[in-house]
């Protein structure tokens, strides 16, 4: 079972390395995971980094009405990659620990393994990636500077950087220098580090719940009947900054998937073709289907061919293109040139 799960991870990663047809990089892996069943999928998800896990599960949560052809294509790619894998895998830590223990003795074997895999504390500290950086920083600020440096040195680098960002600014430079000066960490300090990590892991439940207030406010405004623009202007008079964030959230690129064909046709005609070619790169299936479905067939086929030929595109360029499109949509709505549906709503014939 373990080998199957490892192969599953390799297959999912291989699927994420290519783009076929109308499925983007993550969607193919999401379809494979959904097809596995809960327990095998959980085994694969446990092996993913935090960012990869969040990306693929977000796509999994939004998928609906998946075509049989898409499932067949994704699974076919998965098993093609599976067949290309050899049955020989790298030695597990337990295998090396037993072998080196017999050859060198347990003490020397432990030292060798630490140099190969890193300290045993690292996997445990890796679980802290699910903690809020602000929550960790609040607790770490109460520790001795040397413990702070050791703690950050054993954290995944991205999380360590996020934690430092939430620590008092006055001490950040000294803390980074303390991390840089670390050479060897004695066993007693490692024991204290493990105790501190266990303490933080046991206190996970005391974290505050993350609340996307701007997004929630946008959802509420989208559902308030009457003159929304007038209400937005009153909000702007009280807090221009937060109101701008709310407006941006109200005009999310995904909302294009809920628009009528008439509205989409107006938007398509107003947006330059090269902007669509960027914005639709890696877009969710519902958005891509809605936009391409509102285009003339020949134009839609041309766009799909162009997106396939263009290869990888920096995410920042794609996000900028989507922001420009939604800014244009917002301007058209405010000018009375376009009527859109700001949220998905049940309809009746």
Q: Which of 103-117, 217-231, 245-259 has the lowest mean pLDDT?
A: 103-117
pLDDT score recorded for residue 98:
78
Q: What is the mean pLDDT of residues 251-277?
A: 88
Fold of 251-334: Annexin V; domain 1 (1.10.220)
For residue 324, which of 253, 233, 238 has the smallest C-alpha distance? Answer: 253
pTM for the structure as a whole: 0.42
- Model confidence over 163-213: pLDDT tens digits? 999 998 888 899 999 999 888 777 778 788 888 988 888 887 666 555 568
Structure tokens at 23: 């499925």
Distance CA 73, CA 276 (A): 26
Q: What are phi and psi of 252, to 5 degrees?
A: -80, 145
Which of 23-27, 130-134, 143-147, 298-302 is predicted most confidently? Answer: 143-147
Which position has the higher pLDDT, 17 or 303? 303
Using pLDDT thresholds of 50, 70 and 90, give the confidence band for residue 23.
Answer: confident
| Residue 175 pLDDT | 92
Q: How many CB atoms lie within 10 A of CB 343?
A: 12
240-254, 262-276, 286-300, 334-348: lowest mean pLDDT where?
334-348
Each residue's pLDDT tens digit, 152-177: 998 888 889 999 999 988 888 999 99
Domain 122-206 architecture: Orthogonal Bundle (1.10)
């Amino acid at each position: 079972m373990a080998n199957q799960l490892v192969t599953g991870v390799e297959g999912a990663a291989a699927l994420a390395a290519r783009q076929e047809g109308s499925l983007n990089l993550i969607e193919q892996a999401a379809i494979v995971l959904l097809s596995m069943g809960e327990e095998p999928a959980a085994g694969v998800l446990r092996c993913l980094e935090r960012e990869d896990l969040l990306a693929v599960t977000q796509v999994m949560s939004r998928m609906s009405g998946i075509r049989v052809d898409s499932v067949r294509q994704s699974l076919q790619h998965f098993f093609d990659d599976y067949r290309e894998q050899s049955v020989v895998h790298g030695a597990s830590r337990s295998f090396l620990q037993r072998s080196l223990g017999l050859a060198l003795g347990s003490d020397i074997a432990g030292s060798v393994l630490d140099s190969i895999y890193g300290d045993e504390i690292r996997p445990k500290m890796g679980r802290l990636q699910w903690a809020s950086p602000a929550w960790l920083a609040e607790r770490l600020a109460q520790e001795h500077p040397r413990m702070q440096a050791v703690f950050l040195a054993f954290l995944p680098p991205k999380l360590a950087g996020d934690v430092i960002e939430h620590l008092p600014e006055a001490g950040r430079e000294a803390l980074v220098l303390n991390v840089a000066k670390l050479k060897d960490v004695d066993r007693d300090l490692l024991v204290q580090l493990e105790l501190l990590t266990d303490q933080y892991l046991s206190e996970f439940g005391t974290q505050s719940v993350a609340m996307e207030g701007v997004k929630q406010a946008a959802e509420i405004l989208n559902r308030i009947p009457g003159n929304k623009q007038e209400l937005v202007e009153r909000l702007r008079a009280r807090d221009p900054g937060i109101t701008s964030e709310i407006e941006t959230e109200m005009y999310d690129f995904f909302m294009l998937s809920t628009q009528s064909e008439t509205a989409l046709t107006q938007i398509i005609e107003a947006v330059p073709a090269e902007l669509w070619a960027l914005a639709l790169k890696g877009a969710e299936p519902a958005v891509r289907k809605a936009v391409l479905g509102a285009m003339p067939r020949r134009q839609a086929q041309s766009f799909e061919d162009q997106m396939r030929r263009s290869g990888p595109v920096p995410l920042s360029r794609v996000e900028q293109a989507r922001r420009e499109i939604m800014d244009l949509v917002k301007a058209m709505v405010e000018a009375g040139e376009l009527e859109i549906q700001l949220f998905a709503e049940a309809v009746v014939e």
